[in-house]
Amino acid sequence: MFLKRFSRLLATVVVVLWAQFAQAENASFSSEQAERGKEKYAEHCAACHGANLQGIHLSPALVGARFDQSWRSKPISVLSFHVQRMPVAAPNSLGEDTYTNLIAFILQANGLPSGTPLPNSQDKLDTLQIPAVTGGVTDPYTPVVHSTEQAKLLQNASLISDATAANPSADDWIRWGNSATGTSFSRLDQINRKNIQRLQPAWRAPLRSGPNMSSPLVHQGIMYLHTYPDTVLAMDAANGQVLWRYEHTGAPRSSAKMGIGLHGGKVLVPTSDLRLLALDAKDGSLIWDHAIDTRAPAATGRAQYQLRTAPLVVGNKVIQGVTASFMPKGGFIVAVDIDSGEELWRFNSIARPGEPGGETWNNLPLDKRSGGSVWHQGTYDEELNLVYFGIAPTYDTGPLLHELDAANVSNAALYTNCTVAINPDTGELVWFYQHMPNDQWDLDWAFERQIVTIPIDGHPRKVVMNTGKMAVLEALDAQTGEYLFSIDPGVQNVITAIDPQTGAKEIDPEKMPDPTRPTTICPSALGSRSWPPTSYSTQTGLAYLPLFEMCMLLSDKGSALLTSGVRISNADHPDAQDGKLARLQAVDLVNKRLAWTHDQVAPISTGMLTTAGGLLFSGDVEPSLKAFNDKTGELLWQAELSEAPTAGLITYRVNGIQYLAVMVGTANLHVGSLSRTEFSGNPVTTAVATRLTSRQTPANAEIWTFALAD
């Protein structure tokens, strides 16, 4: 999955959102603009913010320390966004000139000198920044001193008990995927099909730009967010005000992670130097720090361990998956005690010689077996007391290409490309199902396992379903692992048939790697379905898949991602003529068939989110956020974003207001890859790549939230 050497798709020089660009210029304005802005301020703003910009009640001050903490060292466009939200009763109603003049007056009131006029253009405002105070704090992300009300918010937040975790409030989003079942479905319906056109930005908060793909968590009005570099923020979920900040140091570089855990009074945090931390949810102080024992020598070359998933909390155990790119002995899942951080058990994702499944590695010794990374989140079924994870394949595919002529030996390579069900109390493997033995294309089945109850043969049955890179959705019995069914959207050309009883796949022999016989594989190793999580709505009975159609050429040219002798390069997709290679695919689980499809040009870059309001939300690299009718796929609403959105979408409710939140501008492999010009036939990816590489300022990582207009 971690395709560092996949040229053409990743190239030697990857477009990274956190690259360094030329310094932004300090903002300037004319005295005439400031004078006109002063008049408009008195007319439209003074009643709330005070005649002298000092702030009144909940309306913040626009001068002094509050201004310095909120706006210094940030682009003018960030201040402009908030100014244009005013007046509250009629946002964006005063006209561009008036808003520009108001900003000029605010800058003048804070002692900035006049000069050249301030432009109206949003693009130009992106290149201008409000200068820092000489000798003052220059870090725009230093937490501000929170109010008495916000201090009470932290202190009064209740602990998340096992009972709360099992049945959380619809107002909160306390786990990755919203619930232990990982379906990314919300019971909130304040935002719905009837009023979606009233959805508009509510608040934005800046984040540090860097590799990250984390989804926030929200509990009782407090948002907890893992951001770059190895930093955790607690924020007021109603306005984005930082309540506390914890930054872990010690890692040579910060890697992209998918989230954090929240349980009891603790925030559980994976770090880039292979540690699990427990922070006090009320003040961010460190409770314990556990270094995960990899039991391996230091990583060299392409070998490395990493923590990418959000921790899964089950009772007193914090369960964490570990990736293992080219690491001898492979990846694993580890559980630590939530009170002490001490390791309780581990499950090895590569079967050991002499143990069950050990004979499936072509008689390779253990130190020659690698891979089996645990990239994605685990899910939990309380009734069955089972946790479910997906295991990735190995990159060292050469020794497994051909099966040995030996009794009781195979090249299936357990437990790669498996769903594994584990007893969370002991770490014991209860059952497994291998979706694809001997994966020679890096087409993982490694993503989240969602737990749903659907009718099978006329009776309700609890199933574990997942969708791999080939976009084939498969369902298994949650208790036993019995294969139930597969649904293929038709974006792959490797599998020619699937046994309806066992799920065994027939592979096109022409698609097996052979450097002397070039062959086109669809999808590419980036996957038609990749990192962004899918969603399932209990109201529609539909699963929703974010897909992107692309192909790769296996030949003797390109990048050597795998060890089978073939190299990988780009291949044109046969349906690329209209450029609409991105697809939202709804899947009818009840009738085991495809439902509606929405094709679009812009590749999808966020997870899916469904709600009881009858909506499906997704974000893409246009960059935009969109809402669809979850039954029909009709596009109902869209909003332009400042940067490409990343990670999962969440929704929550504070003080009776439902919010929708998304992170933008943070870099990860998925968005960076989709921004490459090498995706033949897709004009949006070319436009996005051009936009990112030609920016005059660094990408502005932010979290955006939306709510209904009054």
Query: 398 CB contacts (<8 Å, ≥6 apart)?
Result: 562, 563, 564, 565
Query: 152 CB contacts (<8 Å, ≥6 apart)?
Result: none
* Dist CA 215 CA 224 (whole Å): 9
Token couple for 265: 């009074």
Say what the pLDDT of residue 576 is: 73
* Dist CA 161 CA 166 (whole Å): 9
Question: How many CA atoms lie within 13 Å of 432's alpha carbon, on the beta-carbon side?
Answer: 23
Say what the pLDDT of residue 9 is: 31
Identify the H or E element spanning 474. strand 473-477
Confidence of residue 207 (pLDDT cuts 50, 70, 90): confident
Residues in the chain: 710
Give the residue-averaged pLDDT of 230-235: 93
Residue type at 31 in one-letter notation: S
Say what the pLDDT of residue 21 is: 28
Give the residue-averaged pLDDT of 440-456: 96
Token couple for 148: 């008495």
**pLDDT at residue 143 is higher than 60:** no
Say what the pLDDT of residue 632 is: 98
Residue type at 707 in one-letter notation: A
Confidence of residue 683 (pLDDT cuts 50, 70, 90): low
Q: What percent of the chain lies above the pLDDT cut of 90?
A: 64
Would you give the DSSP letter of residue 264? Answer: B
User: Exposed/middle/buried for 383, CB within 10 Å: 0-12, 13-18, 19+?
Assistant: exposed
**pLDDT at residue 89 is higher than 90:** no
Query: 95 CB contacts (<8 Å, ≥6 apart)?
Result: none
Question: How many CA atoms lie within 13 Å of 303's alpha carbon, on the beta-carbon side?
Answer: 16
Give 610's strand partners. 185, 616
* Dist CA 186 CA 167 (whole Å): 13
**pLDDT at residue 315 is higher than 90:** yes
- Reported as a single tens digit per residue, the pLDDT across 336-358 is 999 999 999 999 999 999 999 99
**pLDDT at residue 689 is higher than 70:** no
Is the separation of the CB atoms in 581 and 573 below 8 Å?
yes
- Reported as a single tens digit per residue, the pLDDT across 52-87 is 887 775 577 787 656 776 777 778 888 888 888 788
Confidence of residue 138 (pLDDT cuts 50, 70, 90): very low
Q: Phi/psi of residue 37, each to 5°?
A: -65, -35
Helix, coil or strand: residue 14: coil
Beta strand spans in 112-230 (E): 128-129, 185-186, 199-206, 217-219, 222-227
Give the residue-averaged pLDDT of 634-662: 94
- Reported as a single tens digit per residue, the pLDDT across 523-550 is 999 899 998 999 999 999 999 999 998 8
- Reported as a single tens digit per residue, the pLDDT across 464-505 is 999 999 999 999 999 999 999 999 999 999 999 999 999 999
Say what the pLDDT of residue 455 is: 95
Beta strand spans in 184-311 (E): 185-186, 199-206, 217-219, 222-227, 231-236, 242-247, 261-263, 266-270, 275-280, 286-291, 304-306
Is the separation of the CB atoms in 551 and 576 below 8 Å?
no
Sign of the dihedral defined by the CA atoms of residues 677, 207, 273, 394, in that order: negative
Q: Which residue has the higher pLDDT, 13 or 550?
A: 550
* Dist CA 339 CA 276 (whole Å): 12
- Reported as a single tens digit per residue, the pLDDT across 595-632 is 999 999 888 999 999 999 999 999 998 889 999 999 99
Residue 584 burial (CB count, 10 A): 22
Q: What is the DSSP pairing of strand 128-129 with strand 25-26?
A: parallel
Q: Which listed CATH number (1.10.760.10, 3.40.718.10, 1.10.150.120, 1.10.10.10) goes with 28-130?
A: 1.10.760.10
Is the separation of the CB atoms in 235 and 245 below 8 Å?
no
Residue type at 140 in one-letter notation: P
CA angle 634–637–639, rounded 5-degree value: 140
Domain 163-708, second-level architecture: 8 Propeller (2.140)
Helix, coil or strand: residue 684: helix
Identify the H or E element spanning 624. strand 624-629
Q: For residue 440, how far is the Cα from the chain centroid?
A: 27
Domain residue ranges of the chain, discontinuous segments joined by + = 28-130, 163-708
Give 389's strand partners. 420
* Dist CA 585 CA 347 (whole Å): 34
Considering only CA atoms, which of 443, 482, 646, 689 is closest in space to residue 561? 443
Mean pLDDT, all residues of the chain: 87
Give 555's strand partners. 567
**pLDDT at residue 8 is higher than 50:** no
Q: Phi/psi of residue 364, each to 5°?
A: -70, 140
User: Exposed/middle/buried for 533, CB within 10 Å: 0-12, 13-18, 19+?
Assistant: buried
Identify the H or E element spanning 152. helix 148-156
Is the separation of the CB atoms in 1 and 416 below 8 Å?
no
**pLDDT at residue 592 is higher than 70:** yes
* Dist CA 320 CA 185 (whole Å): 23
Angle of helix 96-109 relative to helix 76-83, nearest 10 degrees? 120
Say what the pLDDT of residue 129 is: 84
pTM confidence score: 0.83
Say what the pLDDT of residue 578 is: 77
- Reported as a single tens digit per residue, the pLDDT across 427-446 is 999 999 999 999 999 999 99
Residue 254 burial (CB count, 10 A): 19
Q: Which residue has the higher pLDDT, 325 or 302?
A: 325
Confidence of residue 17 (pLDDT cuts 50, 70, 90): very low
Considering only CA atoms, which of 342, 337, 339, 302 is closest in space to residue 323? 302
* Dist CA 485 CA 679 (whole Å): 32
Say what the pLDDT of residue 691 is: 47
